[in-house]
Amino acid sequence: MPMSPEFENRLYPVVAKIAAHYGTPFHIYDEAGIRQTGHTLARAFAGIDGFREYFAVKALPNPRILAIMREMGFGFDCSSIAELELSRRIGARGEEIMFTSNNTAPEEFLEASRDGGCILNLDDISLVPKVPEFPELISFRYNPGPRRTGNAIIGNPVEAKYGLAHDQVIQAYRRAIDRGAHRFGIHTMVVSNERNYRSMVQTVAMLFELIEEVSAAHGIRFEFMNMGGGLGIPYLPEDAPLDLDALAAEVTALFARFREKNGYSPRLYMESGRLMTGPHGALVVTAINRKEIYRTYIGVDACMSALMRPGMYGAYHHITVPAKRSLPPAAPVDVVGSLCENNDKFAIQRDLPAVADGDILVIHDTGAHGHAMGFNYNGRLRPKELLLRTDGSVELIRRAETLEDHFATLRFTADRVAF
């Protein structure tokens, strides 16, 4: 099921007023829903000592959202300098931040070590000597390769550019120890948008095996394992949600078993983005054109710059027309933006009630990897972001981009150097 009935009940009665006040298009995020998911997650894993969610900043990099995560006691999973800076600007420090970069540049290591540092999660063994000041706490990202199958969005691990190969793991920790590390973690992320909880249970079991191998080789203990993000949400009406309770129960049992066998257990970290905010955001647009050619096209006032997932992954995003919810579906339509790309479609051959110019459409589940993934191709600008607060008020948390923003990096007069 796409966005929750509770979010629908909070949004639909006021969506026309919000649209009239702020103008469409906008993404709107549901604070109550985000908090509820946060509490559900924390409660589900309460049986594991030191469980912590590190919100994947790239899913929804807005300081007002990050502040809510921090209030819930969550840390931040960052993978760029901008994400580190954003997390620190809202007050996160040290081990509240996990930095998981890929193809890491020297500037990124410098930024990671500033302001009290963060948990460094290295993507490759070749990076060990490249870390300028090696931290006492180190983690490596593991890529299981042919041992696991991955899934559609993240790809097959053998072809994925992330992480250490299996036969490099022991050597990687050896080199880290030689550089002075004496506290350890391990990380992996094998799937993306996966609703089959069993695959995450397998991931945790796999990390425990690896921890035992590395611990035996070097006589060390692990402070944490980070099982990654990738917990899926139902985008299609017929999709079943991830069974979080079953996941938590089986993972908690694995932790108990490890503790029995080894006399201690590491903490469990998770870095969910999509699960935390995906269903709690919607893109609100207005229909501006209706075009009848070989198909019927409903043109709306947003495009791929606001939401790439349909064009990029062929992803399904449910769409409703709040004012016409009681009407039966008319003939199928494509809901499109105005970008000069034929994959600039929010929906293809979708059954919607008869949409007329001026109707407000709500595109569901845009709270993660939505606005954040938008791009400016074709000079199309990204829309504003709003936050629907728990008390029913609405906050502007990011204004829309302007042409000034878009032209800010251009030189309209020559800026020439002779070589």
Ligand X SMILES: *Cc1c(COP(=O)(O)O)cnc(C)c1O
- Out of 70, 274, 384, 398, name the contact with ligand X by CB under 6 A: 274
Return the active site residues: 340
- In whole angstroms, how close is the CB of 59 to ligand X at the nearest point? 5
CA separation for the pair 413, 410 (Å, rounded)? 9
By CB under 6 A, residue 163 contacts ligand X: no
56 contacts ligand X (rule: CB under 6 A): yes
Please choose, from the candidates 313, 161, 166, the residue with its C-alpha nearest in 3D space to the C-alpha of residue 232: 313
| CB nearer to ligand X: pick between 233 and 319 | 233
Binding ligand X (rule: CB under 6 A), the pick from 144, 163, 228, 374 is 228
The verdict on 58 binding ligand X (CB under 6 A) reads: yes
Position among 368, 373, 386, 388 found at the interface with ligand X (CB under 6 A):
368
Interface residue with ligand X, options 25, 229, 367, 383 (CB under 6 A) = 229
Q: Does 78 bind ligand X (CB under 6 A)?
A: no
Q: Toward ligand X, which CB reaches closer, 153 or 400?
A: 153
Q: Does 192 bind ligand X (CB under 6 A)?
A: yes
Nearer to ligand X, 66 or 287 (CB): 66
CB of 275 to ligand X, least distance (A): 6
Rounded to whole angstroms, how far apart are CA atoms 66 and 34? 11
Residues whose CB is less than 8 angstroms from the CB of residue 80 and which lie 6 or more positions away in sequence, other chains included: 58, 101, 108
Is residue 37 within the footprint of ligand X (CB under 6 A)? no
Spatial separation of the C-alpha atoms in residues 151 and 196, rounded to whole Å: 11
Binding mask 94-123 for ligand X (x = CB under 6 A): ------x-----------------------
Residue 273 as a binder of ligand X (CB under 6 A): the answer is: yes
State yes or no: residue 128 binds ligand X (CB under 6 A). Answer: no
185 lies in the site for ligand X, by CB under 6 A: no
- Window of 27-35, 252-260, 273-281, 335-343 that interacts with ligand X by CB under 6 A: 273-281
Which structure tokens are listed for 158? 């053998």
Closest approach, Cβ 16 to ligand X, in A, equals 31
Nearer to ligand X, 150 or 273 (CB): 273
> Is residue 77 part of the contact set for ligand X (CB under 6 A)?
yes
d(CA 383, CA 406): 13
Q: Provide, rounded to whole angstroms, the least separation between the CB of residue 108 and ligand X.
A: 14
CB closer to ligand X, 212 vs 243: 243
Taking the complex as a whole, the smallest distance from the CB of residue 79 to ligand X amounts, in Å, to 6
- Contact between 272 and ligand X by CB under 6 A: the answer reads yes
- Of the listed pieces 187-195, 204-212, 285-293, 356-364, which binds ligand X according to CB under 6 A? 187-195
Exactly one of 66, 189, 285, 387 binds ligand X (CB under 6 A); that residue is 189
Q: How far apart are CA 153 and CA 220, in angstroms?
A: 35
Q: Number of residues interacting with ligand X: please give it, by CB under 6 A.
A: 19
- Kindly tell me which of 56 and 387 has the beta carbon lying closer to ligand X: 56
* CB nearer to ligand X: pick between 200 and 319: 200
- The residues that touch ligand X, with contacts defined as CB under 6 A, are 56, 58-59, 77, 79, 100, 189, 192-193, 228-231, 271-275, 368
